Amino acid sequence: MKKSFLIILSFLFLSAALEAFAKTVTATFSVTATIAASACTVTTDNMTFGTYDPGNTAPLRYANSIGVNCNGYGTIAIYPNNGDYSSYASGTTRAMSNGAGQYLSYDIYTDSTYSTVWNSSTPVTFNILPYTTYYAYGYGQIPAGELEPSANYSDTVTAVVTF
């Protein structure tokens, strides 16, 4: 028993001696993160009306899409500008040119009922999640009865996305 008592007593003295030498040192460090600026990619389909017949009593229509995929959260607004020849449009917002001074009027709408012209005043908006593609559909229409010379007509419209 005397031996056991001495062993226990030795451990207690050793522990006390180690505690006397133990010190605590602290250090701090910073924790930082940077959120990358939002970036989006935009894809578009061309709006190819095909052959327009001025004698047809129905407008010529064609739908296309604009796809947007972003790396962040938030709200995006998508709208097409009025194209290169909008000042030559008659009864519409936009016009195509044949390059020889004749213009074929048309418009792009936000809906398949062709009731709301799609432009900078009426953007299509989405609340987005990262890395998800959102599609806005443009419904193009050339009004019936436009009397322009036979030729190829074209315009360039820029899809503008704000986020």
**Domain total of the chain:** 1
For the cut 60, the answer to whether the pLDDT of residue 16 exceeds it is: no
Q: Please, which pLDDT band fits residue 69 given cuts at 50, 70 and 90?
A: very high
Residue 133 and residue 67 in contact, taking contact as beta carbons nearer than 8 Å: yes
Which two three-digit tokens encode residue 143? 């009004």
β-strand partners of 130:
none
Q: Is residue 29 part of a domain?
A: no
Instruction: Note down the domain range covering 116.
Output: 40-148+158-162
Q: Is residue 35 part of a domain?
A: no
Q: Is residue 13 part of a domain?
A: no
Range with the poorest average pLDDT among 30-34, 42-46, 96-100: 30-34
Range with the poorest average pLDDT among 29-38, 68-77, 131-140: 29-38
Please tell me the predicted confidence (pLDDT) of residue 37.
76
Please tell me the predicted confidence (pLDDT) of residue 11.
55
Average pLDDT over the chain reads: 89
The CATH number assigned to the domain holding 82 equals 2.60.40.1090
Please tell me the predicted confidence (pLDDT) of residue 8.
58
Q: Is residue 1 part of a domain?
A: no
End-to-end Cα distance, the chain: 82
Q: Is residue 104 part of a domain?
A: yes
Q: Is residue 25 part of a domain?
A: no
d(CA 63, CA 52): 15
Instruction: Tokens 């996305």: give the residue.
Output: 161
Q: Is residue 31 part of a domain?
A: no
Q: Is residue 105 part of a domain?
A: yes
How far out from the chain centre does Cα 16 lie? 67
